[in-house]
Structure 1
Amino acid sequence: MAWNTLTCAALARNASRRLHHRALSTHPNPRPYTFHIGASWAGKPNEPHQRPKVPWPADGLIGSWRDRTLARPNRTTTSKDAGEDFFFIQEMRNQSILEGVSFGVADGVGGWVDSGVDPSLFSQALMYHSHRYSRNAWAGEPEIDPTLDYEEREQIEGWEMTPYECLDLAYGGVLREKFVQAGSSTACIISLNASSGLLRSANLGDSGFLIIRSSAVHYRQRAQTHFFNCPKQLTKLPANSGRRFSRACIDSPSEADVFETKLRDGDIVIAYTDGLSDNVFPSEMVTICSLVARAGGTEEEQVQAIADRIVEYARQCMKNKNRVSPFERDAARQGMFFRGGKPDDVTVVVAIVHETS
């Protein structure tokens, strides 16, 4: 399907509710940066997601949070299922003052299906615990008392936390979840500071993010893999697994790549699972952002239109066997043959940065 400015404008006009993270203007010291956030997702095309044998209870903490998260506006599919992917978006406050926003994406590793494990349970739990820790933190410099253990730290109102610490804490939360008997997932977690405009990130595996500045890719997070199509991943093995999973990849949060940079007015941050990066080139993401900006609309409308259009385009590319994909090129570098797009779940979270002073 060809994209044009009319299509862009229609998407922007029809975007309904938008999540808009903004410092309160009534505060005597308003934060100089605001962030407009959009998210979009779609399960793997033509392959219905295998539901968990025992799904999260709808009235439980994770089940109800999952359903609220998937109730966000999403124009890319009539299904509310993100497949084996998941994400979170969480404001970070110091008491009542909005200090920033934290968000992330995770991709449950599908190889567990053959063992009777639903990979989505791990990624959903990982993102839930990332949200849980982020809501009691703000995106400032780390000032955590090292003498306290993780559970004690959680009780301190407004303690400061980096994405790496968030990833470490969230992984510990998954390991304690009795409902998640086994599984593994990649993860990318980002925090944006409303006071300084500082972006911090922690990435493990082949999910990732990029920063677009002045219609060009300013930074792109590299993927972490053990070998081709085998990403680094956080893992939970079944109890009493013995030698059955002796070859499983078990990576630590300490192996995550960490990064930080100062953002500028107009920067666009796109976090994604590999369903996007395996099918869409960074230059194509830049083009979509430029077309949406050219169509106009509020920043809230634009950020959601960018997220929706990127996911829609990724789904088109997955089905196209006559187009060279990033995954096809990567396979060729390894001496392997693969043609066209790679069907997969795809999830993106997009942030537009606005500097007010």
Structure 2
Amino acid sequence: MSLSLKHRRLAPSHCSSCRTLSTLSRPYRFHIAASWAGKPPDPRVKRVKSSFPPNSSILKWKDDQLARLHTSTWGTDPGEDFFYVQEMREQSGAYAEADKGVSVGVADGVGGWVDSGVDPSLFSQALMFHAHRYSKHGWAGEPEIDPMQEYEEREQVEGWEMTPKECLELSYDAVLRERAVSAGSSTACLLNLNASSGLLRSANLGDSGFSIIRSSQVFYRQEPQTHFFNCPKQLTKLPRGSRRYSSSAVDAPGDAELYETRLRSGDIVIVYTDGLSDNVFPSELVQICSLVSRQMEGTKSDDEQAQTMANRIVEYAKMCMHNRKRVSPFERAAAKEDMFFRGGKVDDVTVIVALVRETA
């Protein structure tokens, strides 16, 4: 299922419970879809699988999220990855619809913890749960204030802006307090999309990331953040009382790289974990999205186009990661470090696609 979020002009209403809103002349609608595939179990690698308590809010949200957005045919388990798609500022009130946006994010639990008996997926799931929880009550951008309004009215919309960096900081602190997560670490990439202005803001820590495709070209691509090859920057929760873990992979939300830009109608925003970027080149993403657009334009809705793009990107990544004869981005990166690696890298892959449309 894809999620369509829109910002529209509101006409004057005769309903006594409605209020007329003044909005920007160029609002945007985001058609959002998610797709994912967990890597197959490797008998040579130790696997630790656990879950949150049955009464946990995280567990219920996780199951609801997967059921609501699941459309693929290769299973419902995203492995050590997780994600969220959250409409922002859902509170009722005169200005809620006018400044509503959407927040999305992906997280990739670092697998090195399995040797300590820790399930890496719990950290990424908890991080995305709290990111959804905090972004739900924030503005996607600074709300517009009419200086002629009474102070009490202005107070309702001031002070609620939630940037991706702030959301990441709050979410990480919440995971540190989460008793069900004893230890672990994860990369994270969070984005806010403002429906009123088209402003995209991001905070990225590690080797997850996003790309913006504009006019069949890569307009922007988030570069990975690493300590060294194949060791991404990551948010970490150390076991209580532990001293044997290196601090080289213990990073803070403040280390995240920030970016912002104005989106245009027709832009395609693709958010992903490294299961995609290690196996699929940016030019191939452009080709997949262009092919879907040509095949479905005029016959399918924007929601269906976004979902088809997400599904085909994941399907192609799965095919590439099992191909040992094809040169992959990961193979090229390894060669630059004088390391030998051939073909694709088998990993979990999670993709969120946002198709941007300007409303009339």
TM bracket, shorter-chain basis: 0.7 to 0.9
- Aligned mates of 1:139, 1:227 — CA distance in 2: 33
* Offset at residue 23 of structure 1 (A): 2.7
Corresponding residue of 1:12: none
Contact 1:112 1:118 in 2 (8 A): yes
Corresponding residue of 1:40: 35
* Offset at residue 26 of structure 1 (A): 4.7
- Aligned mates of 1:276, 1:78 — CA distance in 2: 16
* Offset at residue 77 of structure 1 (A): 3.8
> What percentage of aligned pairs have identical amino acids?
65
- Aligned mates of 2:121, 2:159 — CA distance in 1: 30
- Aligned mates of 1:180, 1:70 — CA distance in 2: 20
Alignment-mate amino acid for residue 342 of structure 2: R
Question: What SS class does the counterpart of residue 316 from structure 1 fall into?
Answer: helix
Contact 2:48 2:118 in 1 (8 A): no
- Aligned mates of 1:330, 1:228 — CA distance in 2: 8
- Aligned mates of 1:84, 1:281 — CA distance in 2: 22
TM-score of the superposed pair, with normalisation by structure 2:
0.86
Q: How does 1:297-316 map to 2 (within 5 A)?
A: 297-316=300-319
Corresponding residue of 1:217: 218
* Offset at residue 248 of structure 1 (A): 5.2
Corresponding residue of 2:84: 88
User: Where in structure 2 are there 5+ consecutive unaligned residues?
Assistant: 12-20, 145-156
The CA deviation string for residues 185-244 of structure 1, in whole angstroms up to 9 with x for no partner, is 0000000001111000000000000000000000001100000000000000000102x1
Check if 1:19 corresponds to 2:16.
no
- Aligned mates of 2:33, 2:104 — CA distance in 1: 11
Question: What SS class does the counterpart of residue 286 from structure 1 fall into?
Answer: helix
Check if 1:252 corresponds to 2:278.
no
Change (3 A) 1:334 1:326: same
- Aligned mates of 1:356, 1:237 — CA distance in 2: 47
Alignment-mate amino acid for residue 266 of structure 2: G
Corresponding residue of 2:101: 100
Q: How does 1:70-85 map to 2 (within 5 A)?
A: 70-85=66-81
- Aligned mates of 1:217, 1:138 — CA distance in 2: 28
Q: How does 1:180-191 map to 2 (within 5 A)?
A: 180-191=181-192
Alignment-mate amino acid for residue 211 of structure 2: L
Corresponding residue of 1:65: 61
Contact 1:142 1:162 in 2 (8 A): no
Check if 1:356 corresponds to 2:340.
no
**Bigger CA radius of gyration:** 2
Alignment-mate amino acid for residue 95 of structure 1: Q
Contact 1:210 1:218 in 2 (8 A): yes
- Aligned mates of 2:290, 2:54 — CA distance in 1: 40
Contact 1:206 1:273 in 2 (8 A): yes
Contact 2:143 2:158 in 1 (8 A): no
* Offset at residue 75 of structure 1 (A): 4.2
Alignment-mate amino acid for residue 252 of structure 1: A
* Offset at residue 45 of structure 1 (A): 2.9
- Aligned mates of 1:100, 1:158 — CA distance in 2: 16
Contact 1:137 1:157 in 2 (8 A): no
Contact 1:233 1:251 in 2 (8 A): yes
* Offset at residue 140 of structure 1 (A): 1.1
Contact 2:48 2:114 in 1 (8 A): no
- Aligned mates of 1:356, 1:74 — CA distance in 2: 27
Contact 1:93 1:158 in 2 (8 A): no
Question: What SS class does the counterpart of residue 350 from structure 1 fall into?
Answer: strand
- Aligned mates of 2:326, 2:143 — CA distance in 1: 46
Corresponding residue of 1:52: 49
- Aligned mates of 2:270, 2:293 — CA distance in 1: 15
Change (3 A) 1:199 1:351: same
Corresponding residue of 1:289: 289
Question: What SS class does the counterpart of residue 159 from structure 1 fall into?
Answer: coil
- Aligned mates of 1:81, 1:289 — CA distance in 2: 25
- Aligned mates of 1:308, 1:25 — CA distance in 2: 32
Corresponding residue of 1:207: 208
* Offset at residue 78 of structure 1 (A): 3.6
- Aligned mates of 2:226, 2:192 — CA distance in 1: 23
* Offset at residue 18 of structure 1 (A): 2.6
The CA deviation string for residues 111-133 of structure 1, in whole angstroms up to 9 with x for no partner, is 00111100000000000000000
Alignment-mate amino acid for residue 305 of structure 1: T
* Offset at residue 46 of structure 1 (A): 4.6
User: Where in structure 1 are there 5+ consecutive unaligned residues?
Assistant: 1-16, 144-155
Question: What SS class does the counterpart of residue 160 from structure 1 fall into?
Answer: coil
Corresponding residue of 1:265: 265
Contact 2:272 2:351 in 1 (8 A): yes
Corresponding residue of 2:347: 344
Contact 1:164 1:256 in 2 (8 A): yes
The CA deviation string for residues 242-269 of structure 1, in whole angstroms up to 9 with x for no partner, is 2x11355110111100000000000000
* Offset at residue 95 of structure 1 (A): 3.1
